[in-house]
Chains A and B, each alone.
Chain A
Amino acid sequence: MVDFGGWELPQQYTSIRDEHFAVRRCAGLFDISHMGRFKLHGDGSFAFLQGLLTNDLSRIGPGRAQYNLMCNERGGILDDLVAYWGEDGFIVVVNASNRERDLEWMRDHAPAGVEIEDRTFEQSLLAFQGPSAASLMPASGLDDLPYFGFRPGKVAGTSALVSRTGYTGEDGFEIFVRAERVVEVWDAILEHSAKQGALPAGLGARDATRLEAALRLYGNDMDEGVNPYEAGLGWTVRLDKGEFVGRGALTSVKRDGPKRTLVGLKTGAGDIARHGATVFKSGTRIGAVTSGTHSFFLGHPIALAMVEVASLRVGETAAVDVRGREAAAEVVQLPFYRGSARSAAAAPAKP
């Protein structure tokens, strides 16, 4: 068990390797109830979120979700989140470590008439992820659910909100269910899928799969000192949608170009470049690793690094500090692995 933003989470249920392979080849079931879940009430919710988040919610509609960033006035990333446009209001899912700060920030900015309710503790959240997740879900009527779509339904007979989203690069679902029913839903999903090879999956498999898919982790790959363009998330910033917090600063960054950028690194056996490790090119420091792990699935260590813009091109070799020595690192195309998830960017999801 490890402490994760005050929540006790298993690093692994059995083995990170087995769980990682299950997610890539069949399906894995994650308990992600530590993620913060806010429900917004009030007619002004849409306008409020449009003025607070970087992406353009007018590009989606009811029943669709959208990946978003929340920035401060300087364009620094306060959090990355998913906003769900529900029939009876918006749901916002945020990082566990930022939940309290986000709630305060949102309440400080909310106009009269918009209420933000923290539902994190009364509602649980599961993620069932993998190429076989759709066929192994104990639920019907999900086949036509588009990527980043969601709807209320029944999972193993229990009422739940099911969304086709995830953090692994694979197809799959995230399931919102009342906390007192989550154990039976968890058991039912595994009962329905374990024979085919699905496994419960812990934080280790979650970190490895998200990193292979080059999905950013708040606190590692980005924080308040990083802007969306540096994090490679410029596609979530819609400067043309109207005023929003951070728009002025981000307009300047876009005009001048970011000074740093995230790149993918591949290293040799055992050379795991950890968060904070220095990246060198021709003996000069050009940046630092933001996330690194061993990819069991790819068979070698991988890392994301924030480096000076245009300092490294795909195919070039850099060096990275591993246990006090310089290890060779090849710059590779992101993502490291493209799973069964359809690209969110390729699905603009007009209602």
Chain B
Amino acid sequence: MADRVYSKTHEWLVVEGKTVTAGITDFAQSQLGDVVFLELPNPGRKLEAGESFGVVESVKAASDLYSPVSGRVTAVNDKLAGKPELINSDPYGDGWILKLEVTGELPKDLMDEAAYKKFTETGA
């Protein structure tokens, strides 16, 4: 399996060819607190990089979800409708959010794990 990469808006991506699996990072879920609901797009929807594609609603606040890449949604994690807490308990596994078929280039500012860790600690 390919390595996870991370965005500055706290999404993670696993890129395998043209397919990207995406979710929110462990740091993001810990900041949000217990997730209670997700508003997600339907498969087939086209997303631009940086576009808001949904909302994650936690006990604390509603936060927008951003697509770090441009592409077409090919799958949405159906389990999250009944078990949104998977975002908290397994953000990199069963808490994945959607799969995209990428169109165009991946953004250049995606970070590896070490760089993302530094980013969350220092904000730089």
Contacts and interface: CB of A to CB of B under 8 A. Distances in A.
Chain A partners chain B: yes
B36 A272 contact: yes
Interface residues of A, number: 16
Given A11-B60, A17-B85, A272-B62, A323 B55 contact: yes
A270 B39 contact: yes
Contacts, number: 40
Interface residues of B, number: 14
A270 B59 contact: no
B88 interface: yes
Interface string B57-101: 101111000000000000000000000010010000000000000
A15 B60 contact: no
Contacts of A272: 36-37, 57, 62
A265 B73 CA distance: 35
Contacts of A296: 34, 36
A278 to B, nearest CB: 15
Interface in B10-58: 33-34, 36-39, 55, 57
Contacts of A294: 36-37, 57, 59
A255 to B, nearest CB: 41
Contact of B36 (A11, A12, A270, A274): A270
Contacts of A293: 59
Contacts of B39: 270, 323
Residue among A293, A294, A301 with most chain B CB within 10 A: A294
Nearest to A2: B60
A348 to B, nearest CB: 36
B16 to A, nearest CB: 31
A12 B34 contact: yes
Interface in A267-297: 269-270, 272, 274, 293-294, 296
Contact of A12 (B33, B38, B57): B33
Interface in A114-171: none
Contacts of B37: 269-270, 272, 294
Contacts of A11: 33, 60
A208 B59 CA distance: 9
Interface string A206-227: 0010000000000000000000
B33 A16 contact: yes
A258 interface: no
Contacts of B57: 270, 272, 294
A15 B84 CA distance: 13
A40 B59 CA distance: 38
Contacts of A270: 36-39, 57
Interface of B: 33-34, 36-39, 55, 57, 59-62, 85, 88
**Which 8 pairs across A and B sit closest by C-beta, in order of nearness?**
A270-B37, A294-B36, A16-B34, A17-B34, A16-B59, A270-B57, A204-B59, A11-B33
22 contacts: A11-B60, A12-B34, A15-B34, A15-B88, A17-B34, A17-B85, A204-B33, A204-B34, A204-B59, A208-B59, A270-B37, A270-B57, A272-B37, A272-B57, A274-B61, A274-B62, A294-B36, A294-B37, A294-B59, A296-B36, A301-B36, A323-B55
Given A270-B38, A274-B61, 15 more contacts: A12-B33, A15-B85, A204-B59, A269-B37, A270-B36, A270-B37, A270-B39, A272-B36, A272-B37, A274-B62, A293-B59, A294-B36, A294-B57, A296-B36, A323-B39
